[in-house]
Structure 1
Amino acid sequence: MTALAAPLFPSFPANLRPVLVMEPALLPLFSAAGEPFRVMGDVAWSELDAALRRAPATTVVVVDPYAGTHPGDCFPRVRTLLRSFPSVPVVAALQIRPEMTGDVAMLLEWGVSEVVALGPESTPRALSARLRLAHARPFKRALERSLSTYVSLEARQMLMAAAEVAAEGGLAPELAARLGVTPRTLTVRCARADLPAPRQVQAWMRMLLACVLLDDPGRTVYGAAYASGYQTERSLRRAITAFLGMDSTTLRKAGAFATAAEAFNATLRDAREAARERRDR
């Protein structure tokens, strides 16, 4: 099987994060956010599903939930987007008034990652901060909920950083850079936090990311492979067998992320027990 081609934007630099702004009126505002974001406004709602099936894991979608709706509609386009692609961070941008409190709460309950209050406070710096907070939020949220209570705070913080790095296609060296340490120091920190070696941590993060994507009803195995950094669909299928001992069809039926998270917690438990034995000796 051939290597996966970058399907959304062939000339899109890997270090930039696509931001799909679904309402033209919001384009000038979000375009000011600057790097590492590349704001795109040429994807229509009718084309969004096809775009997201092959989108990088760093993609964020910005919506105005009230645009194109009528009173009582209950945001059908946003709801469908969140149901079809729960792994994609969605930022809702709207002018917040007191009577909208219930709507905002509902959007957050559905899975919207961030809410931007439009107005004088919507400066480029503030918008950039919101987009950064939304980065890989659904993946990190799922990972945080799935981790065993025995995982330490230090380990959790490192795993959240590892999740962000995985979404960006990075490996252990990039995790060390994200944490501001050398690769050797990262190995020491992982051991101190009772985590596996950095390479193993990032391999698991890539697998967990792929499984979050496989749980999207609107995404194919091919799209999940591309977005999670596997070179081919076949390489993802081989990794699923190696890590989880099953094929991708069985995995999706069982619940891909829940299955992988259970196996990852078992790996973390083994690492804790091995570390305890070393300390006892």
Structure 2
Amino acid sequence: MLPFLAFLPDPVALGRLRVALRMNAGGPPESALVEVRGWNELAGAARSRMPELAVVDPCSRGVLDVEACAHFRLEFPSVVLLPYGEFRGTARDGLQLGLMGVRHLVMRDQEDGPAAFAYLLAQARAEWLPTRVFTAIGDLIPHHLRALVHEVVIHGDGALPPARVAALYHRHPNTLREHLRAAGLPPVNKLVVWMRLFRAGHLLEDPGRSVENVAGALAFASSSGLRNQLHRYAGLTASDVRRRGGLDLLLTQFRTQHLREYWGPDGDTS
């Protein structure tokens, strides 16, 4: 499970976040929360820990810190930034944050009750990587497999054994195998690799991340292991991915292989 970061100087706000995490069934545990004390520490934690979401109070000094938010978004576009605080100039603040790609914010004392806050956390997290994946290749995934693919994307920070994927599908492994074959999708082991590569491509879009850090965060044995799988499955180097579009490039390669019905260097299309 990738961590959440929190830059919330007010202990009351931090406490409300912790309560919301405890209510968010199926989301990250409270133990996944990493607290930081400033924007520099937030950037350092984002660089080393590979979070999927950062909850920050950009108004802790009384006004919206536009420059700090913009700098963080520029360096770590793969991290969902969820502002939480007292937005006194709400319309203007919301517009400025929206221009940076921020889709949600949490209003202090209005939307930070346990249930409401937990819902907003879940919404922000749900829009992280799966949205990009389904926008690009959703037409290739039949309706009955979409929930499974979503789960495999979400759990792509570590290897998933085929039996675990079948359990997520609530079907026998043989049934899953046949459904994937009928849809023209890769076998389950290769599907898991591709979803992990999507996550790697998404992270490699961030200038602040190294290949070594991405490999470690996604539980590859080494950076060489990540590089080898990029080459074997997608025919790309890590430099290709970083330079030529990150996740979008990998999604294009996936679509190409789907059209060719070719899912690996051994020619296995079963």
Structure 1 residues 105 and 179, CA gap change in structure 2 (3 angstroms):
farther
Relative contact order higher in (CA < 8 Å, ≥ 6 apart) = 1
**Aligned AA (2:16):** L
1: distance between equivalents of 2:79 and 2:188?
26
Is it true that 1:267 corresponds to 2:257 in the alignment? yes
Q: Is the 8 A contact 1:148 1:265 kept in 2?
A: no
Structure 2 partner of 1:90:
81
Identity rate of aligned residues, in percent? 23
Aligned match of 1:23 = 8
Q: CA deviation at 1:238?
A: 1.1
Question: Does the 8 Å contact 1:155/1:195 carry over to 2?
Answer: no
Task: State the TM-score, normalized to the length of structure 2.
Answer: 0.80
Provide the C-alpha distance between the structure 2 equivalents of 1:179 and 1:40, rounded to a whole number of angstroms. Answer: 31
Distance 1:127 1:108, change over 3 A: same
Task: Look up the match of 1:127.
Answer: 117
Q: C-alpha displacement at 1:53, in angstroms?
A: 1.6
Distance 1:112 1:41, change over 3 A: same
For the aligned residue pairs, the C-alpha RMSD in angstroms reads 2.8
- Structure 2 CA distance for partners of 1:216 and 1:172, relative to 1, 3 Å: farther
Counterpart residue identity of residue 76, structure 2: F
Q: Which residue of 1 aligns with 2:216?
A: 226
Comparing 152-161 and 122-131, the one that deviates more: 152-161
Cα drift, residue 83 of structure 1: 1.2
Distance across 2 between alignment mates of 1:53 and 1:46:
11
User: CA, structure 1 residues 66+181, in 2 after alignment: closer, same or farther (shift >3 Å)?
Assistant: farther
Q: Which amino acid aligns with 2:58?
A: P
Deviation at 1:156, TM superposition (A): 4.0
Change in Cα spacing, 1:110 to 1:176, as seen in structure 2 (3 Å) is: farther
Q: Secondary structure at the match of 2:213?
A: helix
Note if contact 1:62-1:91 (Cα within 8 Å) is conserved in structure 2: yes
Deviations 1:43-79 (A, max 9, x none): 532122222122145x4210122223647x5x11111
Q: Distance in 1 between matches of 2:202 and 2:259?
A: 22
CA distance in 2, matches of 1:269, 1:229: 30
Q: Please tell me whether the aligned partners of residues 113 and 137 of structure 1 are also in contact (alpha carbons under 8 angstroms).
A: no
Once residues 63 and 161 of structure 2 are traced to their aligned partners in structure 1, the CA distance between those partners, rounded to angstroms, is 46
The aligned counterpart of 2:105 is 115
Gaps of 5+ in 1: 1-14, 273-281
| Alignment partner, residue 206 of structure 2 | 216
1:119-156 Cα offsets, whole Å, 9 max, x none, are 25522233233223333633223212322645444444
Task: From the superposition, tell whether residues 23 and 266 of structure 1 become closer, same or farther in structure 2 (CA, over 3 Å).
Answer: same
Length-normalised TM-score, structure 1: 0.77
Q: Deviations over 1:56-109 (max 9, x none)?
A: 45x4210122223647x5x11111111111111221213466x51343244244
Q: What is the distance in 2 between the residues matched to 1:182 and 1:101?
A: 51
Deviations 1:8-56 (A, max 9, x none): xxxxxxx5x5222102212111111226233332453212222212214
1:159 equivalent in alignment to 2:149:
yes
Q: In the alignment, residue 30 of structure 1 is paired with which amino acid?
A: L
Q: Residues 65 and 93 of structure 1 are in contact (CA less than 8 Å); yes or no, is this contact kept in structure 2?
A: yes
Alignment partners' CA distance in 1, 2:182 and 2:30: 35
Aligned to 1:67: 60
Preserved CA contact (<8 Å) 1:211 1:256? yes
Q: Which amino acid aligns with 1:236?
A: L
Deviates more, 1:159-168 or 1:257-266: 159-168
Q: In 2 relative to 1, CA 233–118 (structure 1 residues): closer, same or farther, beyond 3 Å?
A: same
Residue identity in the other structure for 1:216: D
Match of 1:146 among 118, 125, 136: 136
Q: Secondary structure at the match of 1:40?
A: strand
Q: What SS is found at the alignment partner of 1:61? A: strand
